[in-house]
Amino acid sequence: MGARRLADMEEPAAYRSYLVRICPRQVDGQRACTVTLESVASGMRVTLPDLASLVTFLNSPVDDDTGSPADGSTIAAGRS
Q: Produce one character per residue of 18-27: b if its CB has 16 or more CB atoms within 10 Å, e if not.
A: beeeeeeeee
Q: Which amino acid is at 46?
A: V
Q: Produce one character per residue of 54-70: b if its CB has 16 or more CB atoms within 10 Å, e if not.
A: beebeeeebeeeebbbe
- Report how far residue 60's alpha carbon sits from residue 2's, in angstroms, rounded to the nearest whole number: 31
25-69 pLDDT tens trace? 888 898 889 999 998 888 889 999 999 999 998 888 766 665 556
| pTM for this prediction | 0.60
